[in-house]
Amino acid sequence: MEKLLDLISVEVTKAFVTAGYDEKYGKVTLSNRPDLCEFQCNGAMTAAKDYKKAPFMIADAVAEVLTGNEMFSSVESVKPGFLNLKLSEKYLSEYLNAMQAADRLGVEQPGHGETVIVDYGGANVAKPLHVGHLRSAIIGESIRRMGQFMGYRTIGDVHLGDWGLQMGLIIEELRERQPDLVYFDESYSGAYPEEAPFTIGELEEIYPAASKKSKEDEAFSERAHQATLKLQQGYAPYRAIWEHIMRASKADLKKNYDNLDVHFDLWKGESDADPYIPGLIQNLMDQGLAYESQGALVVDIAEETDSKELPPCIVRKSDGAALYATSDLGTILERERDFSPAEYVYVADKRQQLHFTQVFRVAKKAGFVKPETKMINVGFGTMNGKDGKPFKTRDGGVMRLETLIADINEAVFARIMANREIGEEEAREIAKVVGLAALKYGDLSNQASKDYIFDIDRFISFEGNTGPYILYTIVRIKSILKKYAEAGKPAEGRKILPAGGAEEKDLMLETAKFNSVAETAFSETAPHRICAYIYDLANALNRFYHATKIMAEEDEQVQAGYIRLLELTKEILETEIALLGFSAPDRM
């Protein structure tokens, strides 16, 4: 279904041509003065230079052509040469009825099944998820859902950190704690135990202890490096320990990601890229792209159009070790083999921007991906406390993600119990739903690249630009629809009627933006655009609600029209929050 702005632009373009001017001047935008009009066209201002005429003369001529057009209730030429437009209430209601009847509310699917890899999550195994993992997880999940809604085959990959020094550190710490384990008996030749020699809780304590020890004990640090090397070379006992670590960590990570309603299609890690690394390095050397520099192997990535000097990408260190860039290039080769995606989206801390610039350019330069393949890095800012510094626990430590979620749920529960007469069990369940909305909306409503202040009190408020406010609006609509159904009113034959008041028309204009917002949000990988839209839509709904006696309306046809508009608004809000990764309860 065509977007409303496009349809309006078509009519205005026709009018420019009829009046004797080029079609390129007919683009229409939303008005930046909604107190004066709903849409505007500034084409006459530009045309004036080309046709050497006063802009108001051109605008007058186009307005005259548009006068009487059934699409508009008002067309005004305003000096020095603006076209101010108001949409016909009848045309708008017909558009919304068509939208409501259309599949997926008229949103087209430009993806046509093309594959998009969304790389997000980025957790390290053997470590608990903490608040630093939040943004990647929920931004990536939203982008994956938006892409799916737009008709792409979106594949989410957690891309675990599972192949680095932390593995050697764990192995060596385990050796010191339990030296009698068969994994450390060089004469042992039997099968290795199926049960891990540690719990996930013990594992999460082992790593930080080993990390601390490596900073104080040079010999321990060297043994950990050697253990890492032996693991990566395929040493069977260490591979068996690694598999125990992976099973325990993945189970715990999945549980915590499930609590965030974040899901991955692939649970790949850096280890999966390892088999590709020797071949890709040889390929880079054979093409003459990789060369030695101070003992390391590097690839130049600078381009003439760069505004600043960019360093080469190191693909092999002087000691022969591969780096994150090498691992990411190996992962790209694996993804090309398995999926041949049309687009890659990497969601990671914006401080990694140089890394992704290097990786993308090497991949293109070496021909690992096709020239037309899109490669995007969605770089996000930090989540800060009220002091403006990265969010910490009260004692200054890094907060576990499950602790953060529990704190928000508890705060929402307390607010529900203070303001409502509701059973504790039901309040707990509602608090989980509302708490998740508060957390995700609080993050996603900010442009990803910007830092933001994490403020629980503000995020869980039922007023203002918050997740609970959006949910409360949906619950309000559900309550009205329930009352209407309980009154025994007919469910069939309802349609949206031309607006009878300003608040009703404002709500209708907001609902008509849905397909445009859905498309723009994914094309810009920008969940915050959805948040901004549903906040405006919720505000419009609540203004309409306060200005209109919906259930007291005596004209049943008018009342049915109100209900139909509420149903459309609810469907849009529920669709959009699903793309953000949360849902609404039936009551709050």
Q: What is the pLDDT of residues 137-192, one digit of tens each?
A: 999 999 999 999 999 999 999 999 998 899 999 999 999 999 999 999 999 999 99
For residues 239 and 493, which has the higher predicted lDDT (pLDDT)?
Answer: 239
Residue 387 has pLDDT above 80, yes or no: yes
Q: Would you put residue 298 in left (φ > 0), alpha (ψ -120 to 50) or beta?
A: beta
**Whole-model pTM above 0.85?**
yes
Quote the distance between the C-alpha of residue 204 and its chain's center. 29
- Residue 391 confidence class, pLDDT cut points 50, 70, 90: confident
User: H or E stretch including 291?
Assistant: strand 290-293
User: H or E stretch including 219?
Assistant: helix 218-232
DSSP bridge partners of 115: 153
φ/ψ of residue 517, rounded to 5: -65, -45
For residues 301 and 392, which has the higher predicted lDDT (pLDDT)?
Answer: 301
Residue among 493, 499, 566, 502 at smallest CA distance from 91: 499
pLDDT confidence of residue 396: 66
pLDDT confidence of residue 420: 73
pLDDT confidence of residue 127: 87
- Residue 28 confidence class, pLDDT cut points 50, 70, 90: very high
Rounded CA-CA distance 506/511 in Å is 9
Residue 193 has pLDDT above 80, yes or no: yes
The answer to whether the CB of 446 falls within 8 A of the CB of 528 is: yes
Write out pLDDT tens, residues 315-354.
999 877 778 999 999 999 999 999 999 999 999 999 999 9
The answer to whether the CB of 313 falls within 8 A of the CB of 358 is: yes
Look over the chain and give the mean of its residue pLDDT values, rounded to a whole number.
Answer: 95
Question: Residue 397 burial by CB count (10 A; 0-12/13-18/19+): exposed, middle or buried?
Answer: exposed
For helices 218-232 and 236-259, give the axis angle rounded to 10 degrees: 90
User: H or E stretch including 82?
Assistant: strand 82-87
Helix (H, G, I), strand (E, B) or coil at 299: strand
Quote the distance between the C-alpha of residue 429 and its chain's center. 25
pLDDT confidence of residue 397: 73
Residues in CB range of 251: below 8 A, 6 or more apart: 200
The answer to whether the CB of 228 falls within 8 A of the CB of 234 is: no
DSSP bridge partners of 297: 292, 316
Residue 421 has pLDDT above 80, yes or no: no
Residues 91-98 have a mean pLDDT of 98
Residue among 538, 552, 483, 486 at smallest CA distance from 510: 538
Question: To the nearest whole percent, how much of the chain has pLDDT over 70?
Answer: 99
Which residue is associated with the tokens 């529900």?
416
- Residue 388 confidence class, pLDDT cut points 50, 70, 90: confident
Neighbours of 294 (CB within 10 A): 7
pLDDT confidence of residue 295: 93
For helices 556-580 and 134-149, give the axis angle rounded to 10 degrees: 130
Write out pLDDT tens, residues 507-516.
999 999 999 9
Neighbours of 21 (CB within 10 A): 21
Residues in CB range of 295: below 8 A, 6 or more apart: 318
Neighbours of 2 (CB within 10 A): 11
Rounded CA-CA distance 43/158 in Å is 47
The answer to whether the CB of 69 falls within 8 A of the CB of 58 is: no
Rounded CA-CA distance 432/337 in Å is 40
Across 350-450, where does the E strand assignment appear? 374-380, 383-384
